[in-house]
Amino acid sequence: MKHLTEEELIAQAIGERQGEGADAVEEHLAACEECADSYLVLLSDLAAMKPVTPPDRDEWYGERVWQSIAPSLAAYRARNRGWRRGWRRGWLTGGVWKGLGYAAACALLVVGAFFAGRQWEHSKQRQPTARVEQKVPQTKQPIVVVVLDDHLDRSERFLVELKHADLDSSAMASPIRDEARSLLAANKVCREKAAQKSDPELTTALDHLDRLLAEAANEPGGLNAASIAKLQDEMNSDGLLFEVRVLRARIASRKVAGNGPVKGGTI
């Protein structure tokens, strides 16, 4: 019979072996008296190395530690001001000439933009006014309608993804956050338009959506299983996915009733 090595016995004693490996060692120890004796001596040695209990520290210990280190700590500056500080530092350490160079570049940009704007104004004035008045209502409305329809379509897909997000997988957290950030800006435009058109149903749904998107996009430290679960709860309690689907259906029905190849809804 091949005896167990000291390393194998140590691994067993400190719980390094798991599952079948541990069972095999146990079986061997049950069958081999010599190894069992060695194992008992090892356990006895380890038991002899059990530590001395640390001396007690009273309930004020933590405060004493804090009092001893607090004077040597400088307060952090608020995080959102960090970039300004760095920018200012860079400006100052870069030297006067570098600063003047930036100033000249900015001035050149402003002057260029001014002349470009004047040229554009002149070209617009040359167009007949009546034609512009005819074109604006025809071209402007379809663009906004398409944005709303697309936005609701994307929002619905986002909500479905969020609803079925795997909480055990961290791979989904980043795409969800990125999509939420992307949708947030579009949602703002749609909300403003809905408010102007006095469409309370649409405004309410977009408000709900805005809150959810803002939370998903700005969760400190990024999304994790807990925050995704919270978002799912909020989404379900608001009935948001249902609301978005109803709005899409409403837009689709108006599209069918309409008289042109308009893709979207009412805005």
Q: Which is nearer to another protein, 66 or 242 (CB)?
A: 66
Rounded Cα distance between 19 and 31, Å, is: 19
Rounded Cα distance between 173 and 175, Å, is: 6
Among the listed ranges 7-15, 96-104, 136-144, 248-256, the one in contact with another protein (CB under 8 A) is 7-15
Rounded Cα distance between 262 and 141, Å, is: 9
Rounded Cα distance between 7 and 120, Å, is: 83
CB 145 within 8 A of CB 265: yes
Contacting residue, 27, 30, 62, 85, with another protein by CB under 8 A:
62
Joined tokens for residue 48: 């002899």
Q: Binding to another protein by residue 61, rule CB under 8 A?
A: yes
**Between 121 and 160, how does the x/- string for binding to another protein read (CB under 8 A)?**
----------------------------------------
Name the minimum Å distance from CB 18 to another protein.
Answer: 11
Q: Binding to another protein by residue 96, rule CB under 8 A?
A: no
Listed residue (32, 37, 38, 39) closest to 1, CA to CA = 32
Q: Binding to another protein by residue 68, rule CB under 8 A?
A: yes
Q: Which is nearer to another protein, 16 or 233 (CB)?
A: 16
CA torsion angle 160 163 169 173 (round to 10)? 70
Contacting residue, 20, 33, 75, 93, with another protein by CB under 8 A:
75
CB 45 within 8 A of CB 21: no
Name the minimum Å distance from CB 205 to another protein.
Answer: 32
Q: Binding to another protein by residue 200, rule CB under 8 A?
A: no
Name the minimum Å distance from CB 215 to another protein.
Answer: 16
Rounded Cα distance between 43 and 76, Å, is: 50
Listed residue (194, 204, 158) closest to 177, CA to CA = 158
Dmax of the chain from CA atoms? 108
Q: Binding to another protein by residue 85, rule CB under 8 A?
A: no
Q: Binding to another protein by residue 55, rule CB under 8 A?
A: yes
Contacting residue, 16, 26, 34, 178, with another protein by CB under 8 A:
16
**Between 222 and 251, how does the x/- string for binding to another protein read (CB under 8 A)?**
x-x---------------------------
Q: Binding to another protein by residue 26, rule CB under 8 A?
A: no
CB 262 within 8 A of CB 144: no
Residue type, 47: A
Contact residues for another protein, defined by CB under 8 A: 6-7, 10-11, 13-14, 16, 42, 45-46, 48-52, 54-55, 57, 61-63, 65-66, 68-70, 72-79, 220-222, 224
